[in-house]
Amino acid sequence: MRNSRLAALIRKEFIQVIRDPRALAVTFILPIMMLLLLGYAATNDVRNVALGVWDQDNSPDSRTLIAAYQAADYFKLEYRVGSEEELRALMDSNHIRAGLIIPPDYSRRLAGGQQAQVAFVLDGSDPTMAGTALAAAQLIGQSQSVTVLSEQINSRGQSFSLTMPVEVRTQVWYNPGMVSAHFMIPGLVGIILQFLTTFLTATSIVRERERGTIEQLIVTPLKPWELVVGKLTPYVVIAFLDTLEILFAGMLLFDVPINGSLFLLLLCSAIFLVTTLGIGLLISTIAATQQEAMLVTMFTIYPSIFLSGFIFPLAAMPAVLQWISYSVPMRYFLLIARGIMLKGVGMESFWQEVLALCIFSVVVMGLAAMRFRKRLD
């Protein structure tokens, strides 16, 4: 009898979800839109920085230097100018982000065995881009210096072999191509899980209260826990379907690997899901209207975006914010998701994060259940 009451409530909730095709479509289209935006647009990769060149030498040597910058993936030659004022005007109007100035005595100084100086100017209004482009420009300049020095020595009939005292051979593990999408998409799984479950849970229960139908459910023989389970079950199913949608779309569109256990990833997602459902249930006991529920939901999403390591590295934050981040469940889920998907590790590597999520889920869901029961009483 009890199971039939609970099944009837779950069936009613699914029918309500299906009756709103626009909202149902949004729950499955929104994750794909976020995937495409974050996968293609939200990237820290610095490529094709618009470059302007003022070549006052116009010699084979200066053209070789320009070709070295063009050959690098970091820069794209957009303009050749005839004065520094023209170069500055292009940078002021955002037509270029970097400028290379070659002096008129560049090739003469090289031929005379003297140091030839060139100027490389950058738009520092975007420090992330400027920092990467600056390092790339310096490396290209150093490489070109070694090439010129080798040619000068060989032209004198001497053999040239430069052996560096220290050689650093670099290896990149887990994300060899350093693709931003591989870093972002595991985090997107957590963001989608939290946003959809928190938002849908909070607004659904508040909507029942606004319509006066929550009182009809209260007078039924349903127990409070049955009411909670019945209301939340459809959104659990939707959240897991969205998770699978994001994972497979990420694999298809961005070649994001799942090097570890998919079952373990879904299991940890379920633990995180209990926490986000508890947050949504807690919001429903605080908010009086659906608009309030939406605002409070967004208020809980922002810390998950900015203080979890989803976009910005935690190590670069002030110590105070790093301590605050320990109170954000998303922080732990991101470490788990990236560990499973990119590193292929198992429970032995992140059991502490799983334990933290379990504690969060018990505390948040317990608090939400108590407040929800009081509201029903």
d(CA 291, CA 300): 15
CB 208 within 8 A of CB 217: yes
Q: Does residue 348 lie in a domain region?
A: yes
d(CA 258, CA 367): 35
Q: Which two tokens stand for residue 11?
A: 């069936």
Q: Which amino acid is at 202?
A: A
State whether 209 and 282 are in the same domain.
yes
Q: Does residue 160 lie in a domain region?
A: no
CB 374 within 8 A of CB 287: no
**Residue 242 to residues 14, 25, 114, 195, 245, Cα–Cα distance (Å):** 16, 11, 63, 11, 5
State whether 31 and 55 are in the same domain.
no
State whether 270 and 303 are in the same domain.
yes
Q: Does residue 162 lie in a domain region?
A: no
CB 50 within 8 A of CB 98: yes
State whether 221 and 315 are in the same domain.
yes
Domain around 299: 2-42+179-376
CB 93 within 8 A of CB 50: no
Q: Which two tokens stand for residue 320?
A: 């105070």
d(CA 260, CA 255): 15
DSSP secondary structure letters along 34-98? HHHIIIIIS------EEEEEEESS-SHHHHHHHHHHHHSTTEEEEEE-SSHHHHHHHHHTTS-SE
State whether 112 and 57 are in the same domain.
yes
CATH of the domain at 146: 3.40.1710.10
Q: In the sheet where 98-102 sits, what is the strand order?
A: 75-80, 49-55, 98-102, 119-122
Distance from first CA to last CA of the chain, Å, rounded?
Answer: 23
Q: Does residue 360 lie in a domain region?
A: yes
Q: Does residue 164 lie in a domain region?
A: no
Q: Does residue 168 lie in a domain region?
A: no
d(CA 269, CA 359): 14
How high is the pLDDT of residue 178? 75
**Residue 156 to residues 61, 143, 144, 161, Cα–Cα distance (Å):** 18, 21, 19, 14
Average pLDDT per block of 10 residues along the chain, 377 residues long: 66 74 76 79 73 91 89 88 90 88 88 83 79 85 79 62 54 77 84 85 78 65 71 82 87 88 92 90 84 87 87 83 92 92 89 94 86 64
How high is the pLDDT of residue 156? 63
CB 238 within 8 A of CB 196: yes
Q: Does residue 17 lie in a domain region?
A: yes
d(CA 234, CA 284): 17
Q: Does residue 163 lie in a domain region?
A: no
**Residue 192 to residues 21, 27, 244, Cα–Cα distance (Å):** 19, 9, 11
Q: What letters, b where the CB count within 10 A reaches 16 and e where it falls short, cover 267-279?
A: ebbbbbbbbbbbb
How high is the pLDDT of residue 328? 92
Instruction: Encode pLDDT of 257-296 as tens digits.
Output: 899 999 999 999 999 988 998 898 888 888 888 888 888 8
d(CA 364, CA 371): 11
